[in-house]
Amino acid sequence: MSYKKEFIEFMVRAGVLTFGDFTTKSGRKTPYFVNTGNYKTGAQADKLGYFYASCIIENMAKGMISENIASLFGPAYKGIPISVATAIAMSREFDRDINYCFNRKEEKDHGEGGKMVGYKLQDGDSVLMVEDVITAGTAVRETLPQLMAAAKVKVEGLIISVDRMERGQGQKTAIQEIEEEFGIKTYPLVTVREIIDTLYNKEVDDKILIDDFVKERMEEYLERYCVQQQ
C-alpha cells in the first residue's frame, strides 16, 4: 500500500489528476479528471514505470498474478511507453528482467511486417497487459484478437492507473464487464475512493485539492454514476 499515496501525489504534481469542471466523452459532468497524456518528461516516465512495477510485484506477492510472466503488453498508443517504463523498473528496482511488446495500429507491410513489436510471443506464454485507464474496455476488445493471432497466450491480467469505478452502459463497471467477458482481472494502482481518502483535507505542496466542497461533489458523482463496492 505504500506506493499508493505517493502515486496519487505524483499524478497531481504531473498535472495528470486535476479537479474542477469537466465533461467526459460520455457527456457526464465530472468534478475530477485523469489525463495520462500529460506525462511528458523522462523523470515522469521513470517514476510511472516504478509505480506500475510496484503494483505488479504487490499482486505477485499476494498470488494474484503469476510469477512467470513471459511479457508485458502495452496496447497502442498510451500503453506503449507504460510497457517500456514498467519493464525497465521491473529490472532495475526488482531484479526481474521481463520482456515487453506492443501493437501497431496499422499492420506493417514491409520489413518484418506484422502488427506486433518487441518480444515475439510464443504459444503458452503468460502476458500481462498494462494500460492507462479503462473507460469502456475498447482497447482490450481491439487488441485481444491481435494477441491471440500472434500466439496462443494466456492474459494474466490488466494493470491500470485509476479505477474510476463508473458504470458502463449497464449496471456494472467496464472492469467487471471485461472480467466476465474475457476472464481477465484488472488491478488498478488506485481507485477514485482511495484518491478521495488520501487527498481529503490533506495538503499537497501547501494546497488542499479536496476540501469539503470538492469532496461533496465527488461523492455526489460516485452516487450517481459509480458502482459502490462492498
pLDDT of res. 35:
92
Cell of 160: 491500470
Q: Which residues contact 89 (CB under 8 A, 6 or more apart)?
A: 46, 49, 50, 52, 53
pLDDT of res. 173:
87
Residue type, 70: A
User: Which H helix or E strand runs over 177?
Assistant: helix 174-182
Beta bridge partner(s), residue 73: 101, 129
Q: Which residues contact 179 (CB under 8 A, 6 or more apart)?
A: 185, 186
How far is it, in rounded angstroms, from Cα 159 to Cα 141?
15
Which residue in 25, 40, 105, 110 is the catalytic one? 110
How far is it, in rounded angstroms, from Cα 150 to Cα 3?
34
pLDDT of res. 133:
86
Residue type, 148: M
**Helix, strand, or coil here: 228?**
coil
Cβ atoms within 10 A of the Cβ of 122, count? 12
- Cis, bond preceding 77 (omega within 30 deg of 0): yes
How far is it, in rounded angstroms, from Cα 142 to Cα 131?
13
pLDDT of res. 109:
54
Q: What is the pLDDT of residues 78-91, one digit of tens each?
A: 999 999 999 999 99
pLDDT of res. 230:
47
Closest CA to 83 of 115, 58, 111, 117: 117
Cell of 205: 505542496
Instruction: Give the residue ranges of the chain where pLDDT is below 50.
Output: 110-111, 230
Q: Is 110 a catalytic site residue?
A: yes
Which residue in 29, 108, 152, 202 is the catalytic one? 108
